[in-house]
Amino acid sequence: MRRGRAGCIAAVVTMPLAGCSGPLSTLDPAGPSAAAIAELWWAMLAGSIALFGLVMTLLLWTFLRANAHPSSPRPKLWLAGGGLVLPALVLTPLLAYGLLTGERLLAHPRAAEVTRIEVEARQWQWNFRYPAAAGGPRMSVNELHLPAGRPVDLHVGSADVIHGFWIPRLGGKIDAIPGHINVIRLSADRPGVYRGVCAEFCGGGHTAMDFRVEAHSDDSYEDRLRELPRDRP
Amino acid sequence: MKPRLPLLLIPAGFVIWASAFTLLYAVLSLGCVAGWQSEVIAGMTLVRLVLLAVWLVHLAALIVLLIYCVQLRHRSADRTFGFLRRAAIGSTVAALAATVWTGVAIPAVTPCL
């Protein structure tokens, strides 16, 4: 009985760790964009722990001090210190760090050697188009092919409702909006197979709207594109 | 003077902050869709220029509100009035700080591509 209860507690405590790895883990980055976002996440976790620790220490100190000296401490000091100064000290550097990271992740047009891939989401599948493939545009469904080690701009749109394009191990997600094209830049550090999902509820087939991502070395990327069906130019 | 006025002044600062936040969000979204990032005026893109104007107008409104709250001092010796006035000054200062934070990145970051 006791052993069973200990097992339950251990399972509940360690369950959150199951999200630290696996094909859809944001904490196991496989590209520079995903790594920058994961670093920001760790910085925000450290900041929140620091802020929580500081506030709890102050709270504890107030209780202990109140027992020793029954006269109440100055409320203005606590309001200004705990409510404004401490959050500002922790959150201001986090804001600056977050803004700098966001700026680095943007798909600035001045970057050279960027591969363009067009993505169309529809209920409930992903269509990928490779306009710059040798010998004319190619296409694939629910399977995205990337060149490893090179930045890729994905021009994401939708044919029906709002979907969410997301490859957790390669970087941030972006909305697929009907009548509008959003651009997201990401890259894979090395050849491999990853998973992507729809991150926005889009109807009854939403949970099955995932796709396979394969990053190829430079040579095999062009070869793989040649095997895909042709699309209109 | 009845304490009604400073009671209304307590939330006034955050109403201005909410207006700034909403308008900055709207200008950013609509300006990017309208292509304002391609038009350059005085070395600055139109979208950044409008965002800065919206932000500065709200900062100016908050400073005027703060001065008004501080100057209420001499109009009444009532204790309730005094407390409400101090609360109005405090909330206006907090709203001013929040509005500075909301827009402080406008000159530096890329609004849209």
**Helix pair angle (B4-34, B79-103), 10° resolution:** 10
User: Looking at the partner chain, which of A99, A102, A183 has a beta carbon nearest the beta carbon of B113?
Assistant: A183
pLDDT class for A18, splitting at 50, 70, 90?
low
Once rounded to an integer, what is the mean pLDDT over residues A207-215? 94
The answer, yes or no, to whether residue A1 has pLDDT greater than 70, is no
Q: Which whole number is the average pLDDT over A145-154?
A: 92
Partner residue opposite A103 with nearest CB, options B94, B97, B110: B110
Is A106 touching B (CB cutoff 8 A)? yes
- 3-state secondary structure at position A206: helix
- The pTM of the full predicted model, rounded to 2 decimals, is 0.75
Model ipTM over 0.90? no
Contacts with A107 from chain B: Cβ below 8 Å: 113
Alpha-carbon distance of B31 to B50, in angstroms, equals 9
Evaluate the omega torsion of the peptide bond into residue A124 and state whether it is cis, within 30 degrees of 0: yes
Span B46-62, mean pLDDT? 96
- Give B55's strand partners: none
Best probe of the A interface among B45, B102, B109, B112, by most A CBs < 10 A, is: B109
- Ordered DSSP codes for A159-186: SSS-EEEEETTTEEEEEE-BT--EEEEE
Contact B113 A102 (CB under 8 A): no
* pLDDT tens column, B1-50: 555 677 889 999 999 999 999 999 999 999 988 989 888 888 889 999 99
Chain B residues with CB under 8 Å of a chain A CB are 33, 94, 97, 101, 105, 108-110, 113
User: How far is Cα A176 from Cα A118, in angstroms, rounded to an integer?
Assistant: 11
| Nearest CB partner across the interface for B113, out of A99, A109, A180 | A109
Dihedral sign, Cα of residue A14, residue A16, residue A22, residue A27 = negative
**Chain B residues touching A183 at Cβ < 8 A:** 113
